[in-house]
Amino acid sequence: MSDSARMLSGVIQSLGRAKVLDGTAKTVSGWVAAVTRPTWIKNALSGSWLGHQLHPMLTDLPIGAWGAAVALDLTGGEESADAARRLVGLGILASAPTALSGASDWSSTRGADKRVGLVHALMNAVASVLQAGSWIARRSGHRRTGIALSALGLGLTLSSAYLGGHLSFVRGIGVNRTAFQSQARSWTDVAADGEILDGTLVRVIVNDVPVMLTRQDGRLHALSAVCTHAGGPLDQGTLDPDGCITCPWHGSRFRLEDGAVERGPASVPQPLWEINVEDERILLRAADSN
């Protein structure tokens, strides 16, 4: 590990150990949970309609707009002043949905990840305030002040982006937890047909992959047992009468029929397994659609 990577890793570890942040994290998390309780809001912010998380995609908008504004400030001269001010304003507008989607994702994290995520959010909030100050300064004719505030804000945003990258790529927040599971395409005998009673949830293993097997209204269903959101055990979840399974960790709901997400925070459908019953034995294989 290089000296710089070691130094940054040390900073992040210190943030992750800062239990002084827990009170604030708990309060803010409660607010986020209240705001995102309606299913349509949770799904919209989680990216359940998109097939992967929304937040990483939205971050490009404010960072792009504010980065372009600074580039114009540095290279465009006086005639680019209006364009740069508009870019700062666009970035501020884009930062609102970006922050909301990030807050929704963050509310499902725990421990050190939650503390680092809180610092990430606070840095972004301060960066947005600096950009708002820049827009006001530019608007009132104080272009140099506006340029300085924009540069400061962008620097803070990029530092915060490092924390976001750490949470995604080092800690795996937001990564589909079934992405690296094997896709067994040959039929595997997993249980006797009579063992799976209506309304029960059973965990079976196919080629090292845990699969949740259940029967509802006489019909067998099989989905990967590891929740795509953060790895919760679906076989310990709740079978809902409307043909869905609810994850016990953060309440994502998946349709038994095809694994589709009915409620976030999950954004990736649950992998589906095909079922064949032969000689009163249940055989499974990964569905083509996975």
Q: How far is the CB of 109 from ligand FES (least distance, A)?
A: 10
Alpha-carbon distance 25 to 33, whole Å? Answer: 12
Alpha-carbon distance 236 to 199, whole Å? Answer: 12
Alpha-carbon distance 106 to 31, whole Å? Answer: 12
Q: Which is nearer to ligand FES, 185 or 203 (CB)?
A: 203
Q: How far is the CB of 250 from ligand FES (least distance, A)?
A: 3
SS3 for 110? coil
Alpha-carbon distance 177 to 145, whole Å? Answer: 46
Q: How far is the CB of 177 from ligand FES (least distance, A)?
A: 7
SS (H, E, C) 118-166: HHHHHHHHHHHHHHHHHHHHHHCCCHHHHHHHHHHHHHHHHHHHHHHHH
Q: Which is nearer to ligand FES, 76 or 231 (CB)?
A: 231
Q: How far is the CB of 252 from ligand FES (least distance, A)?
A: 3
Alpha-carbon distance 75 to 30, whole Å? Answer: 45
Alpha-carbon distance 207 to 47, whole Å? Answer: 30
Q: Which is nearer to ligand FES, 10 or 111 (CB)?
A: 111
Q: Which is nearer to ligand FES, 103 or 247 (CB)?
A: 247
Q: How far is the CB of 265 from ligand FES (least distance, A)?
A: 6
Q: How far is the CB of 189 from ligand FES (least distance, A)?
A: 28
Whole-number Cα distances in Å, 201 to 223, 228, 239 = 11, 18, 8
Applying CB under 6 A, the residues found at the interface with ligand FES are: 108, 227, 229-232, 247, 249-252, 265-266
Q: Which is nearer to ligand FES, 89 or 265 (CB)?
A: 265
Q: Which is nearer to ligand FES, 9 or 236 (CB)?
A: 236
CB 167 within 8 A of CB 173: yes
Q: Which is nearer to ligand FES, 63 or 245 (CB)?
A: 245
Q: Which two tokens stand for residue 187?
A: 């039929």
φ and ψ at 20, to 5 degrees?
A: -60, -20
Sheet holding 201-206: strands in order across? 201-206, 209-216, 219-224
Indicate the length of the chain as a whole number. 290
Quick check: bond before 38 cis, omega within 30? no
Q: How far is the CB of 158 from ligand FES (least distance, A)?
A: 29
